[in-house]
Chain A
Amino acid sequence: MPAVRRAMVLAGVMAVVVPGTARAGRSDFAWLFGSEVLPERGVELQQWVWEEDGKDGPLHTRETSLWWAPTIGITDQLELSLPIEMGWHVDSASAPSFTLQAYGLDARYRFVSQDPVDKPAFAPLVRVAVKRDVTQRDGVIGQADLVGTYDVSDAVQLAADVGFAMEVHSGSRASEYELHPGVGMSVKAVGDLRFGAEAYAELSLQDSTASWAVVGPNLAVTHGRFWLSAAFGIGVYHISYAPRVVWGVLF
């Protein structure tokens, strides 16, 4: 309906025009999970790419990881991804290596409606992932995140993400446990472009030297069926920097 005609019909029904609710994308953050999920039967291709550079002190470990998955909306509040993960590892003590790291299932459930009118300002989401670590003979990775986003306004969103990860082995090798806390803020700048900042850490419960933390700026953008979020994490503990890019294409 052309704008002029719409305006005239609007006048006829005394319309109250509410602000648009367009969002920058499925997630406004790169290291933190967002709370949006696909609509029922929606299909998306998602990719995460991230680097962890300068870990492990003198070894100067540099890891680049790729997470790639088709994601399917099971219901309007539950989505399921089928990821495979690959990694490139470089350090000063061994030859570089590139390998398939893991495959598995990654489910995200949003507890509240995503409808633009009905959705509450606070949206909690839980994520559970189970993956087979193919670099280990019997390794299984479990991950869980409890995410909460809060829309301060149409332009400002806050997020908190408390993650837990574990790698369990049935053999003699010790299992590993980590906490993954993060917080962030995203502000609509212009159109579908958003800027903000986020802080994120991976804290080993066995070995504090394996822990690291970053803080840095982020951005998020949406164009049609494509969305992208990126963050440049600057090391504040046991790491030099950790950039991460997440994008998705809806079908």
Chain B
Amino acid sequence: MGTAAADGGRVVGKVTVTEADGKPAIGAEVVVYVVGYPEPPSTTVTTMTQKDRRFQPELVAITRDETVTFPNKDVFFHNVFSQSTTRPFDLGSFKRDEAKDKQFPSLGVVDVYCNIHPEMAATILVVPNQRHTRAAADGKFTIDGVRPGTWTVFAYTRRATRPASAKVTVVAGADVTAELALVRGAEPAHPNKYGEKYREPSKPYH
């Protein structure tokens, strides 16, 4: 998450998310981030929990070289993996209350899945600086400590057909507003870690 930085400005605003049919998207997780300059990573370790056969949260933004931990809070095994070229990994199968970590040294998009449960999907955005945040349930967001200058602010939600973006000119000690709109599509099918179709939907008892 973004943290306050001296001599910076703030980007504030709101993101609206709609489904492809134009209806408001309920419960969409949205991250908003400013790009254009790098910053060192924080020491924060982001958590992406596996609970109730879902990743929670399903979308996070982290700064390059930061670490994400993946605790399993289900009573059954999960096998978290990514085939992303940005950051491929395979955590193997691990049981309840175990957690495994991965560091993300390259910028880009990392789609994360479970090799056992095809319905589990999440995305990690690895961004160049700490100027990123999650939008609140009502879509409002605030990014503190943005370096003065003209930058692009992006908003993204999983299943969005494209990220939304806007140019902002940040002045030290002042707020600049951005209004962004996203359209969400259907969850695309993905292969398992062997590049194959999943054999069948996972059962509730798995």
Contacts and interface: CB of A to CB of B under 8 A. Distances in A.
Task: Tell whether A pairs with B.
Answer: yes
Interface of A: 1-2, 4-6, 8-10, 12-21, 39-42, 73, 76, 115-118, 224-225, 250
A225 B195 CA distance: 8
Contact of A39 (B92, B111, B162, B165): B92
Given A14-B35, A21-B88, A41-B92, A5 B161 contact: yes
A40 B93 CA distance: 6
A10 B108 contact: yes
A150 B152 CA distance: 43
Chain A contact residues, majority secondary structure: loop
Contacts, number: 89
- For A4, A13, A117, the residue with the greatest tally of chain B CB atoms inside 10 Å of its CB is A13
A1 B188 contact: yes
Contacts of B156: 9, 12
B91 interface: yes
Chain B contact residues, majority secondary structure: strand
Given A1-B111, A225-B194, A12 B154 contact: yes
Given A5-B161, A12-B154, A117-B103, 19 more contacts: A1-B188, A4-B162, A9-B109, A9-B125, A12-B152, A13-B126, A14-B35, A15-B106, A15-B108, A20-B88, A39-B90, A41-B93, A115-B89, A116-B89, A117-B106, A118-B103, A224-B194, A224-B195, A250-B194
A226 to B, nearest CB: 9
Contacts of A9: 109, 125, 156, 162-163
11 contacts: A9-B163, A13-B33, A14-B107, A14-B128, A18-B106, A40-B93, A41-B94, A42-B93, A116-B89, A117-B105, A225-B196
B162 A8 contact: yes
